Every structure is written in structure tokens, then in C-alpha cells.
Amino acid sequence: MVSGYLEHAGYKVYELQHAAEIMPKCASVQMDAILLDINLAKLAVYAEKINIFAKSKHIPIIFISESEYFDINYAFDLGADDYITQPVKRAELLIKIKTHLRTAKLARQLIASEARQTAILFHSPIGIAYTDLELDVYKTNSQFLVQYGYNEDIKNLSNILSGSAVDKFSAKKQWLEQLLQQGCLECEVQTLHKNGQVNWTYLRGKLINSELPEQGLVWTLDDISERKQAEDQLKLAATVFEVSGEAMIIMDVNYMVKSINPAMQRLSGYHVAELLRYSIAELLDSSYREETLQDILALVIKDQQWQGELWLNQKNSKQVPVRVMLNSVNRPDGSISHFVALLADISEHKEQEQELKHRANHDPLTGLPNRNLFFIRLKESLTLAQRMQYHVVLMYLDLDGFKPINDTLGHGKGDEVLQLVAKKLLNCVREVDTVARLGGDEFVIILNGTSNEQVSVTAERLVNTLTLSIDDKLPLSVSIGISVFPNDTINPIKLLQYADEAMYQAKQQGKHAYCWHGESPLVS
């Protein structure tokens, strides 16, 4: 059934019979996702290798469970990114596959972008050129032009090589073979300045994207002639500081701002002159971390660098999350002359994290906590109640008459009714309580620290509130089952089971009612 759903949606599916077949198959075929309908205990032997491989390739792993009550935490420990319970619903399956594939694609794009930025920063004190696989130059930085005497008129990278045409052709062929096999190249070569002067250059080449070699190559060329090295690096560092996409702050030994680059001006909203009287402590906020900013700065002095996530105080009084790298700049004698901070805005990344976390724990239709978050909340409530010696009440709610509404008025109307019910349930309980949707027309409520009398009042309020007439012709009501911790049981699964059984007892005795576990319902 799952294969049929996926193939009908346009996916190519490979069905394997044993977990041991996964790694060999992945080695021969490029996989976009792995779905495991397999016993967890049998999978554990292979889980580590599968997980390491999948994470390295950003391949999502989705478990298909035969039961709603399988060990979710254990599944995630084995490397699952998500799970689906039997029977598999086509819409849920396709939505999860699409979401995880999109997330994996974004992750790969982010890694590629970060790799390019890292390469630019790492090689910034030297010449940089971008070429195609034939070494035709389509972009260079200013240091490259200074280093070899060109004025944006260089056509091919081999033009700077010293030697005959045969030597240049041989070098081009050898470089390309190594780059396509290994993805990178490093060597020392003799180069020719446009004015005829011969110098030595340390050459590095790298495929911009090893998966798509046609995107071209990035080259860094370091003039290792002593006379020019210091001057050239200084010029290039100044250029990179101005044009870099990474926000940069230069500070003195007292952490006072001495200069910022244009990227930092855009990120912070401040002009250079406005920040010259600021210390780094006024710009960066570490209040949510265990270590203070003073602790972080002390680590920079000790280890010469620190990196982590902080908050940047912008000029508009807002805060933005940033990834920060702090480095000390040391003189030859080891003393510190300056500090440098590199900042990258990670707002979008944080928003994506929050969105994924919300999706994993909330029902997409009603916005209520889903089964996963419900059990987390229930275990937390029971743990606290046991420590503080109070009761926790679990209510299991099932709508009466929902199926005729769905069948008569359509699923769209049914969804509207479920959303309406969710809002009414939230209005009937306190903020300290939890309302969750288990699926279909079944809801659960966790009431923390309450009494039998308060529960009865709440149950009656729920029954009355959910006594509705949909489109003035189709009746809707609710049947509620109630179980109590620790009176009925201290086991969360049993507590849910007892509430479910009490709900069915309420239905059998006429619906539109609530029933305590082991007692008769009180009909409103």
C-alpha cells in the first residue's frame, strides 16, 4: 500500500526485505528517503551504520509502526526523523515525505552556502579566481589582478603559468583529472607576471560543487615571493573586510569597537561612527546562556577563539540571533593587539527549527498538541503530581454524531467542526491544563491539581458547550470518559485506557454524558 501511494505520486520505490540490505542498496542507488516498516529490536544491530550514512547524506529516516503505542523515544534514538502509524494514510505519508525532502534539500543548500563563505574567508588574504572546467576565467578578486599584472583582461588561468604551450597543456590536463577525482588540488607552480617577471605561487583549486562539476572551479593563488607577501595579504584583507557578506567587528584590547564592515552596518542598523563609542557588551547579549559575556571573552584570551550563538542588539531595539566567531589578533610576541568578531544572521534557520518542532508536536488541523506532545505533557504532569501529592484527571472525549456531519456535509465542513470544537475545549479549561487531539474526532484533556467536584463542573460544562446543531439540522454532542491519577492507576498508558473505557461506557448508556472510570455516568 505504501509503495503504491509513493509510486502513484511519482516516486521511484525500492522494496527491501531486511535491514541488512539497506546499506548495499544505498551504495548503488541514490536514495532520497528511507522508510522502515521493521521490528525495532531487529533494526538495532544495523541502526548506527544506517543512521550515520543517512545523516551524512541528509536522507530522512521515517519509521512505519504497527501500533500507536510503540516506543517513540527508542525509535528516535535509533535515528528516526519521523514516524507514521498503521494504517498508513496516503495524505499523511505524502505530506511527511514532501516535508522531509524539502528540509533535506534546504540543509544541503545551507551546507553548500556555508562552504563557499568559509572558503572565501579562509583564503581571503590571497588571490582568488573563478573558472570553468577549461580554466576560462569569468571572475577574479582584485588581489589576483594586482598579483599578476592584469586589468580584468585575463582570459585563461594558464596564461599566468611559466613555461611552454606544451607544459601549460599538460598542467591543465593533470589538474583537471585530479580535481574531478579528488575535488581539490594543491601545488606550487612558477607563474608569470604580465610584465614578464617570474614568481612562485602556491596554488589551490577546488570544485565549487563536487556533485555538479559544471558549476566550475574556485582557485586561490598565494604569491610566496617574500618581498610581496605581506603587502599583498594586507591589501586583500582590507578588500575582503569591505566586501564580505559576513558581518565583522574589529575591537581594541578593551573590547571597544574600532571598525565595522558594511555587512555589519546592514545587520545592526548602525553606522560606523555610531558604534565607535560602544563596547562589545552593549552589542551582544548572552543572558540566555549559562556563561556570561565576560566568561566568553576570557575564553577568547585563553584559547584565542570562541564560537557560539548569541543575540545582537540592533539599533531599532530589536534582537536578532547570530552565530558568532570571536578571535584574538596576536602580535609576534604573543600579546593581543585586537579582537575580531564575525557574525552571521541565523534568524531564518531558527524559524525553520521552530517550525519543524511545532509540526512534530502539533495537530496541523486544530493546532492542538498531537499524540506525541500529549504523552510528553502527561508524563510531566504525573511526575510533578507525584512529587507535589495532588491529583491529575484525564478526560477522553469522543464526538457523538460527527460521522453523519462528515458524510452529509463533506470533509471540509467536518474539518471546520473539529476546529470549532478545539476552540470551545480550550475555552472550557484553565491555562495550566492541556487539550490535545489524538486523531479523528477524539480529544483528551489533562486537568492538573483538581478535585472531583471541579471535574464534574468541568465535565458538565464540556457536555453543555459541545451540544450543538450543525447547519441547524445535524446534532453534535460529546461523550466523556474520566480516569484519575493516582486513584485509578499511576501508569500513563493505563490511565488513558481507563478514560477510553469510561468514554465507551458513557456512549453505551446514551451518549451526551460523562462517566467516571468504574462508575455510572452523570447525564446532563
Residues noted as catalytic = 441
- Of 191, 145, 195, the residue nearest 168 (C-alpha): 191
Residue 463, H or E segment: helix 452-465
Amino acid at 332: P
In contact, 418 and 365? CB cutoff 8 Å: yes
- Three-class SS state of 220: strand
Q: Are strands 257-260 and 468-470 parallel, antiparallel or unpaired?
A: unpaired
- Of 49, 18, 10, 12, the residue nearest 33 (C-alpha): 12
In contact, 307 and 325? CB cutoff 8 Å: yes
* Dist. CA 117–CA 149, nearest whole Å: 26
Count of beta carbons in the 10 Å neighbourhood of residue 262: 15
- Which grid coordinates belong to 188? 606550487
DSSP 88: P
In contact, 158 and 150? CB cutoff 8 Å: no
Count of beta carbons in the 10 Å neighbourhood of residue 171: 18
Q: What residues contact 317, with CB distance under 8 A and at least 6 apart?
A: none
* Dist. CA 377–CA 159, nearest whole Å: 68
Q: How many residues does the chain have?
A: 524
Burial class (CB in 10 A: 0-12, 13-18, 19+), 133: middle
Backbone angles phi, psi at 26, to 5 degrees: -65, -30
* Dist. CA 10–CA 28, nearest whole Å: 21
Residue 406, H or E segment: helix 402-409
- Name beta bridge partners: 477: 400
- Which grid coordinates belong to 153? 583582461
Amino acid at 16: L
* Dist. CA 226–CA 221, nearest whole Å: 14
Q: What residues contact 353, with CB distance under 8 A and at least 6 apart?
A: none
